[in-house]
Amino acid sequence: MTSPIEHKQQQVEAVMRLAPVIPVVVIHDVKAALPMARALVAGGIPAIEVTLRTPAALDAIRAIAAEVEGAVVGVGTVLGASDLRAAQDAGARFAVSPGISPRLLDAADDSALPLLPGAATASEAMSLLERGYRHLKFFPAVPAGGHKLLAAWASPLPQLRFCPTGGISLASAADFLALPNVLCVGGSWLTPADKLSAGDWAGIELLAREANELRELR
């Protein structure tokens, strides 16, 4: 019988395999949420991480979950139990954290929401593996050592698969996606602030289509 943590890890893996890039989105105006999400889905990028960095985030998640067909909306910048509860109530399908703490992991054990936890060191990755996590966010990817560090982890930590996030661009994503222990990358370049504020949904769809072309590297 599959354990609860393993079941949630399977759900996280399914999200990570939807597309080569998970957009990391900062929403300031909830009115932008629906057209932004529809543009990403139209461009072939269905998994969307809306970060809890603005007051509009939960309303944006709620709107996308209810109204955008094909979108798999998740919540980012999760720091504790209250974030997990609020995100699940809003309709989020997965949660992402920048790092880990014992209290966060305990809360995740009690939550139905699948968690993609962040790790920046081998020790953190090993601690998460002990708790049953095989799919991790590598953050901040570029400052922490980039694709060379992840490549070095592949042999001693073969059980783990990563979504590196932090400082990655369309140009550098290929270096990460070529690694055997990387399933996708996270990036904010698909939804830049200038295009969100200008309502340039065609421009966001084009960025999504360019990112989706990276799937041939996986």
**Domain 4-205, classified CATH 3.20.20.70, yes or no:** yes
Q: State the catalytic residue, choosing from 8, 137, 195, 205.
A: 137
Chain centre to alpha carbon of residue 8: 15
Find out whether 147 and 164 touch, Cβ atoms under 8 Å: yes
pTM score: 0.97
Residue % of the chain over a pLDDT of 90: 97
Query: 164 - beta bridge partners?
Result: 138
Q: Which of 8, 13, 49, 124 is catalytic?
A: 49
Q: What is the rounded distance in angstroms from the CA atom of residue 147 to the CA atom of residue 149?
A: 5
pLDDT tens per residue across span 134-183? 999 999 999 999 999 999 999 999 999 999 999 999 999 999 999 999 99
Task: Specify whether 49 is catalytic.
Answer: yes
On the question of a cis peptide bond just before residue 20, with omega within 30 degrees of 0, the verdict is no
Q: Which two tokens stand for residue 42?
A: 């139209």
Q: Which two tokens stand for residue 17?
A: 């395999």
At residue 218, the pLDDT reads 67
The answer to whether residues 203 and 51 touch, using CB atoms and an 8 Å cutoff, is no
Question: What's the whole-number average pLDDT of the chain?
Answer: 97
Is residue 6 part of the annotated active site? The answer reads: no
Judged by DSSP in three states, 186 sits in strand
Percentage helix, strand, coil for the chain under 3-state DSSP, each rounded to 5: 50, 15, 35
Q: pLDDT below 70 — which residues of the chain? A: 218
